[in-house]
Structure 1
Amino acid sequence: MSFACFLWVILQSLVVVVVVYATAENGCYKSIISFGDSLADTGNLKQLSSLHNLDFPFFRPPYGENFLDQSTGRCSDGRLIIDFLVAGATALNSSVLEAMGIVNLVTNSSLGVQLDWFKESLPYICGNVSDCRKFIGGSLILMGEIGGNDYNFPILAGSPMDEIKPLVPLVIDTIISAVNGLIEMGAQTLVVPGNFPVGCVPSYLTVCGSEKEEYDPTTGCLSRLNEFAEYHNELLQNKLYQIREVHPNVNIIYADYYNAALQIYRFPDKYGFTNGVLKACCGGGGTFNYNSSAECGMASASVCDQPDKYVNWDGLHFTEAAYRVIHNNLFQGPFTNPQFNSLCPASTAQLGVGLSSSL
């Protein structure tokens, strides 16, 4: 895999915590606290990179072309899942990954690092310990999606699956440790997503696909990669069940990103995706319009005329239209356990909509 391709993958590991003061979803929450990777980054990487004079393709058009003020920094043409609720961090620390031969050349914005940043910033957000506990208790906490990048690096580098699979319990334990830490700080409602069906992603289909691979006949996705995502999700759900047993008064919500997204690949016409399910809207050509030498945002790449007819934006991330469907399937549909729309903290004083803060 070329350095450009590898660099583009690790861009997903560059995002930090976002705190949004807003009337969230059903009006029950006074704020959203989001940990995650490029699937949740609303512009933090762009702000951080400006301090180090770094520039990446998704800082430039056509990224953000359908967003309110066409601002870039989001890894999509417009809004993300978190935007409908109101770049990629790993779950494991870089030192842990390096010990296993997996190198992240750009950042160590791991889940543990993000949690530390959040703790350090709390006094500036809510003041004293008592007020901060109330703040966290009245917030909706979104834990990712995170963990996917821990697998992205070795998968796209060609590592065999039997070398990657041992990562899964380590990633899950890291996520669970963060969840338990937030509960100790007063969290009452946490949404913990599983992984997406990564075997349907154009970059994976391009880099990992071959005549020897098995493809799902109903979707065209790579079977072994989707099975791997399902394995991660199964272990995660088992651990969340254990937390619910220990903390019966805390709302631990599993967000089934896998099946919420898989509905699109199975029934694209139902959702209006008539121009592409496995093909990126913005890219440099090829079967899936993903080319590591002509990535979206570069002069050599082109963008489709109707992004809302495509599922994938740039070979790695969804379009705004796809994020909207996934959001609806999750938070207005059946793909959260327990049902998200039936939950509400006992007391939450609502605040007006404000700006997200990069921590």
Structure 2
Amino acid sequence: MTMRLHFLILSFFLIRGIAAPSPRKYEHIFNFGDSLSDTGNFLLSGALAFPVIGKLPYGETFFSHSTGRCSDGRLVIDFIAEAFSLPLLPPYLALTKGQSFQHGVNFAVAGATALNSEFFHEQKIGAILWTNDSLSVQLGWFRKLKSTLCTTKQDCDEFFKKSLFVVGEIGGNDYNYPFFIGGSIELLNSMVPLVVGEIINTTSALIEEGAVELMVPGNFPIGCSAVYLTLFQSPNKADYDPHGCLKAYNAFATYHNNQLKKDLEMLRKKYPHTKIVYADYYSAALRLLHTPMHHGFYGGTLQACCGGGGPYNFNFSARCGHTGSVACENPSAYLNWDGIHLTEAAYHYIAMGLINGTFTSPPLMSPALGDK
């Protein structure tokens, strides 16, 4: 290998931020959430609201076939598993008797909400839900599975002290559904304490079940999402920040995140023996939006890679995977995959920011209380 070639390869890895394999801090990962981390549960549930994720171009970049992931490749949870030398998490609904799930399970379901489906039916908007597999349903799945993981309290304590629990991102769909049918920001503000409360209650329930180390992500800057930019376009330039994102919707996401951080701090005081990590998805994504070229995203920041045209390459009549849509040739040059979800390249950068501690508080790799 020539010195120049060696330099180019080294430069590529440094620029792309690929981290060296970490020692196995965790032996198991249990993940709860929605389409940002679903690895196949939605399709396996038989739901038909978004069947296009069951075929190409979804999954084309890494897997070369669809897997039920709402991206062109791997998700944040996949990169976290890889970073700790663990296999990719199998979806809970794929588990059968006798199948190995010794390194963890993914309970996330695309379209899932933090609040129970009954809430949305009471609000007369239940018909638009993709799935009824809310956070409480996923918690029930975990409790059902727990009896197969350990039997005595001592066994469970030993098992779960080597486990990472990831609770989210969840809650985004609680807001997406009403927003997309015309709900106002003022109306949605009143939902935030309910949504955050459900996330906190689930996190608390997992701790009571034996979880010791947990990571709870906040929401992304939804005002930079192609679907929001398309639905809520404004002729008023003052409604946009210097990067072209809708300020009001990013402010709403910030309100949710601040409430979540505040309540997580209270949970830390209630459970001082646990390590509860806040994952700052908002800042991690915003960094990529602010300096896209620095991170290799030269194809687009606000435009979707896969879509059917329009200023942000998103429209409901030709969404990614539907007739009339086309996927870009190089998804790794784009942040946004299909107008709602991000590309594998974007998820990789966000995951690395969580793992190395840049966007986690306390840092994910810092020792737990019992390890100090």
Which TM class, normalised by the smaller chain length?
A: 0.7 to 0.9
CA shift for structure 1 position 305: 0.6
Name 2:122's counterpart in structure 1: 99
Question: Gaps (5+ residues) in structure 2?
Answer: 1-20, 82-109
Per-residue CA shift, 1:91-129, capped at 9, x if unaligned?
000111222333244321111111011101222233445
Q: Distance in 1 between matches of 2:50 and 2:278?
A: 35
CA shift for structure 1 position 55: 6.6
Q: Distance in 2 between matches of 1:112 and 1:73?
A: 21
Q: Distance in 2 between matches of 1:178 and 1:54?
A: 26
Q: Distance in 2 between matches of 1:116 and 1:204?
A: 32
Flag the 1:309–1:118 CA change in 2: closer, same or farther, 3 A: same
Are 1:32 and 2:26 counterparts? no
8 A contact 1:33–1:142 mirrored in 2? yes
AA aligned to 1:196 is F
Name 1:3's counterpart in structure 2: none
Further displaced range: 322-331 or 273-282: 322-331
8 A contact 1:138–1:345 mirrored in 2? no
CA shift for structure 1 position 319: 0.2
Q: Distance in 2 between matches of 1:110 and 1:219?
A: 34
Further displaced range: 271-280 or 124-133: 124-133
CA shift for structure 1 position 182: 0.8
8 A contact 1:29–1:344 mirrored in 2? no
AA aligned to 1:40 is S
Name 1:304's counterpart in structure 2: 328
Per-residue CA shift, 1:52-92, capped at 9, x if unaligned?
77871111100000123533311000000000011121000
Question: TM-score, normalising length from structure 2?
Answer: 0.82
Q: Of 235, 238, 243, which aligns to 2:267?
A: 243
Q: Distance in 1 between matches of 2:22 and 2:115?
A: 30
Further displaced range: 212-221 or 231-240: 212-221
Give the count of matched residue pairs.
322
Are 1:90 and 2:98 counterparts? no
AA aligned to 1:90 is T
Q: Distance in 2 between matches of 1:67 and 1:139?
A: 26
Name 2:171's counterpart in structure 1: 147
Are 1:68 and 2:63 counterparts? yes
Are 1:194 and 2:218 counterparts? yes
8 A contact 2:59–2:69 mirrored in 1? yes
Q: Distance in 2 between matches of 1:337 and 1:248?
A: 15
CA shift for structure 1 position 295: 1.2
Are 1:126 and 2:150 counterparts? yes
Name 2:10's counterpart in structure 1: none
8 A contact 1:213–1:222 mirrored in 2? no
8 A contact 1:28–1:344 mirrored in 2? no
Q: Could you say what secondary structure the match of 2:27 adopts? A: strand
CA shift for structure 1 position 297: 1.1
Flag the 1:55–1:201 CA change in 2: closer, same or farther, 3 A: closer
8 A contact 1:312–1:319 mirrored in 2? yes
Name 1:355's counterpart in structure 2: none
Alignment of 1:1-359 (within 5 A): 26-49=23-46, 56-86=51-81, 87-103=110-126, 104-212=128-236, 214-344=238-368
Q: Distance in 1 between matches of 2:210 and 2:349?
A: 31
Q: Distance in 1 between matches of 2:59 and 2:269?
A: 42
CA shift for structure 1 position 267: 0.7
Q: Distance in 1 between matches of 2:48 and 2:289?
A: 39
Q: Distance in 2 between matches of 1:25 and 1:229?
A: 32
8 A contact 1:283–1:291 mirrored in 2? yes
Per-residue CA shift, 1:199-226, capped at 9, x if unaligned?
0000110011221474443211010000
AA aligned to 1:80 is L
8 A contact 1:218–1:266 mirrored in 2? no
